[in-house]
A and B are shown apart, each in its own frame.
Chain A
């Protein structure tokens, strides 16, 4: 009788392990599927990075953000990301003070280079925070862009 309960227990726990494994796989694939709705709906950078990468990342000097110091038109701010980091799996661009900071993400498969360029909207002067997933390591960098409302160049 004891043996039987023991067996039952192991079967149940191994099933749990399988289920947990499947769950882990799934959460890792959320971003790979192209669009992580929870991350895009997040209201601040910390929540968005947590939803997208599960971590807030560590600052890195190897991520280069090319963005204007001053943008005359906040509706169209060109941003270019270049990184020498190896095995870049994904890049995310966030505008810290936008209502939903996560502007865009890109996931690479195969022969892509650590490069991404796009144009984002900025409601006001804010930091642009860039997250890079380099072989599972989450790294980040930021740059401040000044948005001149009214276009007086102040």
Chain B
């Protein structure tokens, strides 16, 4: 499942947008064909780090939409800084991406 990072400048700060491809199943939805409940499968944590230093930790429940698009803004970031995001879901699957601010 792919994860994408996009960083763009907004005045003095950088906005970091992360798009994580994930089904974000709540565990209450029923499959229309099989009539069976689709088991819960959702991202629980998403961590942001810049140049190896943690800047933000996102926690998620089942109320976040499919393929979460999350944005934060950080001050003091500059061109060339390395962004790393990593997520973990309720099944223990992990994902993430790395990028450099242009």
Interface residues of B in 64-90 (CB under 8 A from A): 64-66, 68-77
CB-based contact B57/A106 at 8 Å: yes
Stretch at the interface among A53-61, A97-105, A134-142: A97-105
Option from B17, B45, B65 in Cβ contact (under 8 Å) with A75: B65
Question: How many Å lie between the Cα of A114 and that of B4 in the bound state?
Answer: 23
Cα separation A35 to B13 with both chains bound (whole Å) = 26
Question: Complex Cα distance A121/B24, Å?
Answer: 10
Q: Which of A34, A35, A95, A116 contacts B63 (CB 8 A)?
A: A95
Determine the chain B residues whose CB is within 8 A of the CB of A27 once the complex forms.
none
Selected from A34, A77, A101, the residue in CB contact (under 8 A) with B47 is: A34
* Bound-state Cα–Cα, A1 to B17, Å: 68
A143 at the interface (CB under 8 A from B): no
User: Counting CB contacts under 8 A, is A84 at the interface?
Assistant: no
Check if A104 sits within 8 Å of B58, measured CB to CB.
yes
Bound-state CA distance A108–B50 (Å) is 12
A34 to B77, CA, bound (A): 22
Residues of chain B within 8 A (CB-CB) of A33 are: 57
Chain B residue at smallest Cβ distance from A103: B63
Contact A121 B56 (CB under 8 A): no
Q: Is the CB of A115 within 8 A of B71?
A: yes
Asked whether A13 is an interface residue with its Cβ less than 8 Å from the other chain, the reply is no
State the A residues within 8 Å of B (CB): 31-36, 40, 75-77, 80, 95, 98-113, 115-121
Residues of B in contact with A (beta carbons under 8 Å apart): 13, 15, 17, 26, 28, 44-45, 47, 53-66, 68-77
